[in-house]
Structure 1
């Protein structure tokens, strides 16, 4: 319960500022995304050895406290910049804030799940990770709704103060969890992980599971970033001011996260308990193949739901992200309970930061290049369907990788009792 509540505040904090970031990319369109993602990738590469040093030398409690406190202070420092957004310019402020929010998302969320993999066993993870993720999805639903309400009342800049408060509450809960777990017999919570600063990079080449996860990250990111770029062009064409774009992206996040929450309490938990986390990787990849194939065939028109025209691209983003957050993420983090502690922190962090942002640079550059060559939505979607098919193959290998520790058996009755 404490883990789910802590993740609720983490995701509330992130989803309050996410529409603020997205309205900046919506202001300039997809042509600036390669610049944004390229800057993020460079920063991630520079931060990888720094994060490895912190993990190697400091205890978990110190790592959590210093990392989260740094991002809280940064949120406060950005308030004056957003009060002068019109003077600074969306492109200039966008590069800086886009980089920072991406680093915030990847490090704060990745560190949270590394911590979860440290305090739960693989059997426990299969039972409870979808419920912990549900807490985060609650924040991901609450955050956009709160952002949509407050942006009309107080504007964009003060939202960062609300985000900082939410992240502070999360930190307090995580420190309490860490202290409680450290008192349990056999806990390593008061010990630094140790090892090399570059272990995350080295393990990518030496551990098959981590290689599969890196490839799966690249393929999954390719689909997500392709959708994000197309929706950014849609926002640029249809919304002319920061408040309208922020409200649009808040609505999009709200629907996505409600769908993801429904997944977590229904299909995901049943699948993880009955069939294991491997299927939680494979099924979303197969759904993406079908979705992108449908976009390639039908194009980018509107779908009429309950008397309202909904852009087909927006629907695709809702479904792909809903599966990514509602099924893939809990399955991935359950698998990380079956690797050594150093891999949970350093290897996992490298895959979910530098590898992820490398994929962003490649995909956004490819989308821009293919558009210059005259590719339309159908051709891009068809290429995305091919990438999703490759992701399905890799997901099958990752979920049953031979270097994973044996999984714990989860009795069906116990899983049902935990649900009750």
Structure 2
């Protein structure tokens, strides 16, 4: 693991003195830090341009015999199945390509996919191409998890050890800022009528392309700048060799710490996706009531109203989520980590989720669900996001590139799969009302808290040693 080699007595630049408002920035770290800040800002901005469109598109997609809530849940499960193969391919590519090349090529593939889906959007080349909305929903889910996970793998590798604990909270401000700006701009563009929702796909290409340039710049500079990378070093793979045995999953299940991290990732997304499905269900019920109240008739008119209404709701919803997340990240995350340690930042989200779903169980109406989901997701995207990056600091480079993408993508999407199973059992077999789904989440949060405590205890033990120990 790289040592913190920041010169101890060199004076701080004006930029570094300004950045110290957010965290402990030392001499030489400022410029690369702000490049990484801007990099993740652009990635999350691009993601939120397409995320609201994803929910609007799936709302007008039809599969015989399935409600929109069921279709949304089962489509999320399909993501987990596809990611099994993608994670294995990514691990092998990381053993062949330098990290700069790896990130560049993966991002370029995503850009080409945005152009493809722009051509397939409803009402452009096709009125409503069967399966296109489902394919887009699957792709956005994988894009949002995998590209973001790829950035944080790079950041955790670039900022190792003590430097990572200081600077990752600062970079996370860029993530929440990009998400807030992306959702705000989406809301503004759609409300003003300057662009139709499908144009967001092309707009997202601009920040995504910019993130490639910033990633390459940060990799060339190194954590404190002035580190000119030799030609031979630029050709060195992100990790040496390839995963042994069963690969990333084998490595995860052989280490208590990694297994606990994977368990928390699965439970976090299971709970969160259950909550998103609950919100979507209540929203669609509200929109159907609005359709009846307005007296709208005709399939085209109803679809247009539901699609635009869903997109507009989520644009506004994501704006408030990310604004609150930005404030929490900028003002609280680094201070909580410094004063309360890993336990304070890792246990906060499950506690808030417990309060949120208890409230939804008592009063499952759109206003309550919206406010409590904003509180939960704002914490998830800020303070808990910081925790999810910091817990990788005791791990090796091989663990970061082999197991972090697997956990941040495959296990998160397995959480979606479990949420889909929850919908199947709850709606099709048990016919549960909305508030019962909130009670299911209350029970899951209890398990989540237990696994999070294991991480906290293992983290405190491992930080001096720096390497997770195998399961006995």
TM-score, normalised via structure 2 length? 0.80
**Equivalent residue, structure 2, for 1:145:** 184
**Equivalent residue, structure 2, for 1:299:** 363
1:314 equivalent in alignment to 2:358 = no
1:324 equivalent in alignment to 2:370 = no
| Distance in 2 between residues matched to 1:278 and 1:122, nearest whole Å | 18
Alignment of 1:144-293 (within 5 A): 144-151=183-190, 152-181=193-222, 184=227, 191-192=236-237, 193-197=239-243, 198-239=246-287, 240-293=305-358
**Equivalent residue, structure 2, for 1:356:** 412
1:194-224 Cα deviation digits (max 9, x unpaired): 2324531111111111111111011111211
Task: State the Cα distance separating 1:350 from its structure 2 match.
Answer: 0.6
| Distance in 1 between residues matched to 2:122 and 2:260, nearest whole Å | 44
Of 397-406 and 139-148, the range deviating more from structure 2: 397-406
**Equivalent residue, structure 2, for 1:39:** 78
Of 375-384 and 114-123, the range deviating more from structure 2: 375-384
* Structure 1 residues 407 and 277: CA distance shift in structure 2, 3 A: farther
CA contact (8 A) 2:57 2:307 kept: yes
**Equivalent residue, structure 2, for 1:93:** 132
Gaps of 5+ in 2: 1-33, 62-67, 288-304, 467-472
**Equivalent residue, structure 2, for 1:345:** 401
CA contact (8 A) 1:25 1:232 kept: no
Structure with the higher helix share, 1 or 2: 1
Aligned length: 399
Alignment of 1:11-50 (within 5 A): 11-27=44-60, 29-50=68-89
Task: State the Cα distance separating 1:94 from its structure 2 match.
Answer: 1.6
Task: State the Cα distance separating 1:79 from its structure 2 match.
Answer: 1.3
**Equivalent residue, structure 2, for 1:415:** none
1:128 equivalent in alignment to 2:167 = yes
1:272-317 Cα deviation digits (max 9, x unpaired): 1123223211121122112212222x22136xxxxxxxx1111121
- Pair member with larger Rg: 2
**Equivalent residue, structure 1, for 2:293:** none
**Equivalent residue, structure 2, for 1:411:** none
TM-score, normalised via structure 1 length? 0.89
| Distance in 2 between residues matched to 1:341 and 1:221, nearest whole Å | 25
| Distance in 2 between residues matched to 1:338 and 1:76, nearest whole Å | 39
Gaps of 5+ in 1: 303-310, 409-420
CA contact (8 A) 2:79 2:138 kept: yes
1:14-47 Cα deviation digits (max 9, x unpaired): 0000001011233352110233123211210111
CA contact (8 A) 1:26 1:232 kept: no
**Equivalent residue, structure 2, for 1:388:** 445
| Distance in 2 between residues matched to 1:316 and 1:3, nearest whole Å | 31
CA contact (8 A) 2:49 2:200 kept: yes
Task: State the Cα distance separating 1:186 from its structure 2 match.
Answer: 11
